[in-house]
Amino acid sequence: MNENKGAIKKMMIILSKGTIENVYAAFVLANGARMEGIESEIFFTFFGLEAVHKKKLDSLRVATVGNPAMHIPTMIGGLPGMEALATTMMKKEMEKIDMPDVPEFLEILTASGVRMWACKLAFDMFHYKEEDLYEGVEKIITVGDFYKRSEGEGVHMLFI
Amino acid sequence: MERTIAGKTIAVNEEGYMTDFSQWDEKVGEALAAEANLTLTPRHWEVLKYLQTEHKNQVALSIRRVGKSGVVDIKEFYALFPNAPLKTATKVAGIPKPASCI
């Protein structure tokens, strides 16, 4: 941490969840790094892969069950349609603060130079095909490959 | 704070952003660009003028908005102002650093 006064040079973000709030967290952090001149990469694994699955990325939802900060009682959060309703409301609020939707955000990340990778293990487990993946994802790589990419001074890793 | 840029006394904040846009001129812009290791081309100037106009109209600047401006796309913006384009370009343009996360 002492090299270059602890300056952050590169953010390696691992996105393991497919709920929209977690996907946004990863995207905002990756994009925010680029805006500061910091390199950033995202490794999509497990449910996080849905954020780069062409047919799924535009229908990600917020979790209404098991999320106390939603302030929706668990029993009600589990009712049919609640996830969709909460997601619609959240998307409206996001548009108000100039937050792009997931497809547009992916375009912004690609244009900003965020490098994106899909996890081989999760990719195989969910029986994805290469053509399922958003074009900005460069390659399907292993955990070892991702660690190799994370070598160097001032590199920070973040698990979401 | 005050400092001398291109032979003029200029008011700046602690991060080096100008605090009085009326003190900005193209010579000052060129000097600020040189400090950021940039040589300004006509494309840079188009972007800088756009940012100044947006600031004048009190538009909150973000990467997304710049990308949608029709003046420059995000990829070119990063190419013109490598490393923190919005921060660098606003500094050179003599306008405040945008408080934007996107």
The residue written with tokens 């009600």 in the block is A76
Smallest Cβ–Cβ distance between A108 and the set B64, B85, B100 belongs to B64
Query: Beta strands of B1-102 (E only): which ranges?
Result: 2-5, 8-11
Smallest Cβ–Cβ distance between A112 and the set B60, B78, B100 belongs to B78
Calculate how close chain A gets to B102, using CA atoms only, in Å. Answer: 6
pLDDT, tens only, B61-74: 999 999 999 999 99
Residues on chain B touching A28 (C-beta within 8 angstroms):
101-102
Least confident of A3-12, A146-155, B19-28, B31-40: A3-12
DSSP A121-148: HHHHHTT--GGGB-TTEEEEE-HHHHHH
User: Does residue B54 have an active-site annotation?
Assistant: no
Within a 10 A sphere around the Cβ of B84, how many other Cβ atoms?
19
pLDDT, tens only, A93-140: 888 888 899 999 999 999 999 999 999 999 999 999 999 999 999 999
Calculate how close chain B gets to A15, using CA atoms only, in Å. Answer: 19
Dist CA A153 CA B86 (whole Å): 25
Calculate how close chain A gets to B71, using CA atoms only, in Å. Answer: 15
Residues on chain B touching A112 (C-beta within 8 angstroms):
63, 74-75, 78
Structure-token pair, residue A54: 């062409």
Interface contact B64-A100, CB threshold 8 A: yes
Conformation bin of residue A98: beta by default, left when phi > 0, alpha when psi is -120 to 50 = left
Dist CA A58 CA A86 (whole Å): 15
More confident residue, A62 or B63: B63
Within a 10 A sphere around the Cβ of B65, how many other Cβ atoms?
16
Among A residues 33-92, those touching chain B with beta carbons less than 8 Å apart: 34-37
Q: Which amino acid is at A150?
A: S
The residue of chain A nearest to residue B100, with distances taken between CA atoms, is A32
Q: How confident is the model at residue B1 (pLDDT cuts 50, 70, 90)?
A: confident
CATH number of A10-144: 3.40.1260.10
How large is the ipTM?
Answer: 0.87
For the cut 70, the answer to whether the pLDDT of residue A149 exceeds it is yes
pLDDT of residue B25: 93
Instruction: Give the ranges where A36-81 is alpha helix by DSSP (H).
Output: 74-77
pLDDT of residue A96: 83
Query: Which of A11-15, B10-14, B83-87 has the highest average model confidence (pLDDT)?
Result: A11-15
The residue of chain B nearest to residue A39, with distances taken between CA atoms, is B83
pLDDT of residue A11: 97
Residues on chain A touching B60 (C-beta within 8 angstroms):
98
A48-85: b or e for each residue (b if 16 or more CB lie within 10 Å)? Answer: bbbbbbeeebeebbbbbeeeeebebeeeebeeeebbee
